[in-house]
Structure 1
Amino acid sequence: MPNLLYLNTENTNSLPNSILKSNVDRDKIKTGIAHIGLSNFHRAHQAYYMHELIEQHQELNFGICGIDLLESDRKIYNILKDQDGLYTLITKKANGTIDYKIISSIIEYFYGPENPLAAIERLARPDIKIISLTIAEDGYHLNETTGEFNLTHPQVKEDSLSKFNPKTVFGYLTQIFNLRKERGLPGCTILSCDNIQANGDTVKKSFFNYVEKTTPSLLPWLQENTSFPNSMVDRITTVTSAKDIELFKDTYNIYDQWPVVSEPFSKWIIEDNFISGKPDWEKVDIQFVKDIEPFENAKLRILNAGHSILGILGTLNGYKYVHEVANDEDFIFFLEHYIKTEVIPSLQNTEQQNLKAYKKEVIDRFKNPHINDSLSRICKESSSKIPIFVFPTLLKQLSNQESIAHATFVMAAWCKYYDGVDDYGKTFDITDNLSNQLIRTAALSQQNPQLFLENNSLFKDLVHHDRFKERFEYYLSKLRSLSIKEGLVLMNTGKL
């Protein structure tokens, strides 16, 4: 057996063509994008698209400079440094086929905690036309219940004491654009790729609030020299397992310390609002639109809501993975009926036929048995997800005097989820910033179901709808005496 190859630039000449040996001299690629947050999702999505544009269309002006800002990011930084920014994208199809591709679009990388000034200086240079972000919900420092930027967050306060050693993405951006302003350089586009509603508007509002409190003299310049397009990103990307690493090693005799595992499906839709130019992403099927909202609403209320619903219901039934729940006919019938009778009617500004096709596509993606996406990942921080994914459907249906049965059943199951015990008596971990509060109110709901809804800042307008509260109490009382499986069977047959 030949000697094991470690993935890096020096060894790429020995890579088999079947995993796409690069046909581009990486030394000729120029940096044009800085990306903050080199997560698995970024590497399966944005970096993948840029790789495709480089490989297929010789786009050499928008290589990626990766930036990580968290102490917990040291591992991925060290690995990418060892591997010269190279990594493997592992795509698992539902039929069991596995495709491997070496991604080579990340050509620079900085680690903020190690040298914040170096990262700031690099992003202040004018060759950076786009600063994109995947920093997850926590990185935006939004209040957990109001959704407003949290100026009292400890890291935000810490930034004000040490401006050149920032802890938040907004601290870095402030110093980056301060340098650009002082040096007479242009601004650039800030492109959020996070799974939050109106992500461009959200990062703009948070950033400007931060600047207004810390460096108000910079704000007029920012308003003239930056843009914040909203985007909708869609690709299921799971946690990389040791088995994935070993299989790649055994198949190709290559050691990649941290490959990325994803499904074949991928979509990226962006509002066309770039202040300093952009790559020709249309060539790799990225769609540019004037208004992202219809696309975003469909994705949030069908795919993301569907994920969370299967996560909550499946966890209560003792399942561990998305595909297990999605291949259980009782669970998937419930989800399909929820989307058909409550979600699609509430999405009035979107072509209904397209939504029906999207529903089928999403269900098929959930059923892929090779992704192994864990329910614990899906359920993590559900108090920041359910209000975005499910509440809008509920409120729209209430407003239209239409059915709320399935969405309200989900809400009752969500309450039961915070009991932390499945229907077989096994406990499961709950990871949620509001877990202490919701575990307490779920316990109190056993005497009075309405007490779970006591947090008005979380449940907002829902608590003013008597029809919802009456149905919630009815379903919760049933689920206290039934298993989730028994409840679903009754729902699916119209007996509950």
Structure 2
Amino acid sequence: MQKSFYLNQENLSLLPANVIRPTYNRNDITTTIVHIGVSNFHRSHQAYYTNELMNKYGFTDCGICGIDLLDSDRKIYSILKDQDGLYTLITKQPNGVNRIKIIGSIVEYFFAPENPVAVIEKMAHPNIQVITLTIAEDGYHLNEITGEFDMNQALIAEDLKNPLSPNTVFGYLTQALKLRQHRDIGGCTIISCDNIPSNGTTIKNSLFKYLEKAEPELLDWVDQHITFPNTMVDRITPVTRIEDLSYLKNDLQTEDQWPVVCEPFSQWIIEDNFATQRPQWDKVGVQFTQDISPYENMKLRLLNAGHSILGIVGTLLGYHTVDEAACDNDLMTFVEHFMQEEVSPTLDKTKKTDINNYKQNIIARFQNSHIKDSLTRICKESSAKIPLFILPTIQDQLKSNKHIRLGAFIIAAWCKYNDGMDENGNNYEISDELSDILIRTAALSHQSPIRFLEIEPVFKDLINEKIFVDEYLKAIEALRKQTVKKCLRNINSSH
């Protein structure tokens, strides 16, 4: 058996001929992009697009400097440093064929806790034109109830006291932008790539709230020189499994300590609002638009909501992966009814043909049996996802006096999910910041079903909507008395 080799710059030439690798000289690349939060998603999405731009068109002025802020990021930082920033992207086709590509667009890397000043200096470097973020919702430090930036969080307070040793993205951005102003370097574009509504507006508003307290004299300069375009990002990127590492080692003799797995589909739409010259990502499929909202709503309310439904109801049915749940005809029929009857009417700014094409695409993507995206991952932090993916549809439907029966069933199913046991009597863990509240309130709902809707950080004043409450109570009663399968079939048969 052929001996395997470690993935790094020196060993690129040892890769099999069918592996696509960087055709550009990485030593010639100029770093103009800083990315904060080098997640699997960043590596399958933004870093992928940038790699394509360099590989296909020979651009040398769009290298990425990765920056990780959290102690928990030390492992990925160490691995990518060992691998000279290189990693394998495994794109799993529905037919079982894997496309293997080595991504080389991350040409610099900093671990912020080791040297905060170096990170601030890098972000303030004259070459840096774009700062992108995948910091997950926690990284925005939003208040659970109001959804506004929370100045009272411990890490924010700590950053205000120790501005040159920040913990949060807001602390780092503030010091970097302060340097840019002081040195008359000029502005840059800050792009959130996280799954939150109006992500650019969110990061802007939060940063401005922080600046009001930390550096109020910087506000006018930031307002004039920094832009925050909203974006829509889309690519299913599951957790890397041990089988993926073994596949590379056994089939390609390559030892990559943290490859990334993704689906073939990828989409990135960015509001055309750049402070400086934008990277020419449009050459490799990125769309620039004046209004992001139709794309954003379609993605959050169809794809992300669909994922959450499959995660919650699929777990109750005893499934473990998205493709298993998506191949359950009763569950998938329910998802299709929800998308058609309750979501589509809320997407009034989007062309019907775009909606229909997107929905058909989603079903095929969910059913890709080679992705093996775990329902555990999908259900993690559901208390943050439900208000973003499901509740806006319910609220819009209520305003228009339209159907919310299916949405109410989803919330009732989530209540039952928090009992922590599937229909086969198997227990599963509730992984959520509000897990104590969710589990306790779900238990109380056996005697008083409405108690679950009293979780204010999630539902706000939804408990005051009588039409919704009535449908929810019917759904939770049915789910307590009958199997989930039977409930799904009863709902589907009425459509």
Q: Same fold (TM over 0.5)?
A: yes
Rounded to whole Å, the distance in 2 between the matches of 1:454 and 1:5 is 56
> C-alpha offsets along residues 271-328 of structure 1, whole Å, 9 cap, x if unaligned?
0001011111111010000010000000000000000011000111111111100001
Q: Which residue of 2 aligns with 1:120?
A: 120
Report if aligned partners of 2:384, 2:458 keep a CA contact under 8 Å in 1. no
**Corresponding letter in the other structure for 2:375:** L
CA contact (8 A) 2:419 2:442 kept: yes
1:450-479, Cα deviation, whole Å (9 max, x unpaired): 111113443124222111111111111111
SS at match of 2:180: helix
Partner of 2:330: 330
* Corresponding residue number in structure 2 for 1:191: 191
**Counterpart in 2 of 1:254?**
254
8 Å Cα contact 2:386/2:458 also seen in 1: no
Q: 396-405 or 382-391: which moved more?
A: 396-405
1:59-102 superposed Cα distances (whole Å, 9 cap, x missing partner): 11011000011001011111111111100000001111111000
Instruction: Give the aligned partner of residue 476 of structure 1.
Output: 476
Query: How far apart in 2 are the matches of 1:375 and 1:145?
Result: 26
1:61 aligned partner:
61
Structure 1 CA distance for aligned equivalents of residues 118 and 63 of structure 2: 18
Give the equivalent residue in structure 1 for 2:430: 430
1:386-401 alignment, distance < 5 Å: 386-401=386-401
Structure-2 residue corresponding to 1:91: 91
Instruction: Supply the distance in 1 between the matched residues of 2:215 and 2:433 (Cα, whole angstroms).
Output: 30
CA–CA separation in structure 2 for the residues paired with 1:454 and 1:22? 54
2:420 and 2:290 mapped to 1: Cα distance? 44
Per-residue CA deviation, residues 216-273 of structure 1 (Å, 9 max, x unaligned), is 1111111111000000000000111111011011111111111000000000000000
Summarize the alignment of residues 154-169 of structure 1 with structure 2, pairs less than 5 Å apart.
154-169=154-169
Q: Which amino acid aligns with 1:106?
A: I
- For residues 180-223 of structure 1, the C-alpha deviation after alignment (integer angstroms, 9 at most, x for no partner) is 11112112110000011100000001111111111111111111
- Paired position in structure 2 for 1:76: 76
1:386-465 matches, within 5 Å, as 386-465=386-465
Amino acid aligned to 2:454:
E
The TM-score normalised by the length of structure 2 is: 0.98
Aligned twin of 1:380: 380
Q: What's the offset of the Cα at 1:162?
A: 1.5
Extract unaligned runs of 5+ from structure 1.
none
Q: Do the aligned residues in 2 keep the contact of 1:323 with 1:373 (CA within 8 Å)?
A: yes
Shift of 1:179: 1.1
The aligned amino acid for 1:23 is T
Counterpart amino acid of residue 207 in structure 2: F
Separation of aligned partners in 1, 2:13 and 2:95: 31
1:20 alignment counterpart: 20
Aligned to 1:110: 110
Deviation at 1:351, TM superposition (A): 0.8
Is this contact kept in 1: 2:21–2:103, CA < 8 A? no
* Percentage of matched positions with identical amino acids: 54
Is contact 1:37-1:67 (8 Å) kept? yes
Structure 1 pair 235–202 and aligned structure 2 pair: CA distance change class (3 A) = same
- Residues 88 and 256, structure 2, Cα contact 8 Å, conserved in 1: yes
CA–CA separation in structure 2 for the residues paired with 1:249 and 1:128: 36
Give SS of 1:109's match: strand
Q: For 1:425, what is the secondary structure of its paired residue?
A: coil
Mapped contact 1:146–1:458 kept (Cα < 8 A): no
Given that 1:53 and 1:59 are in contact with CA atoms closer than 8 Å, whether structure 2 keeps it comes out as yes
What CA distance in whole angstroms lies between the structure 1 residues aligned with 2:249 and 2:303?
33
8 A contact 1:334–1:488 mirrored in 2: yes
More displaced, 391-400 or 231-240?
391-400
Bigger CA drift: 112-121 or 455-464? 455-464
Q: Secondary structure at the match of 1:385?
A: helix
CA RMSD of aligned residues (A): 1.1
Measure, in 2, the Cα distance between the counterparts of 1:455 and 1:15.
53
Letter in 2 for 1:296: E
> Any idea what SS the aligned residue of 1:443 has?
helix
Query: What TM-score does the superposition give when structure 1 sets the normalisation length?
Result: 0.98
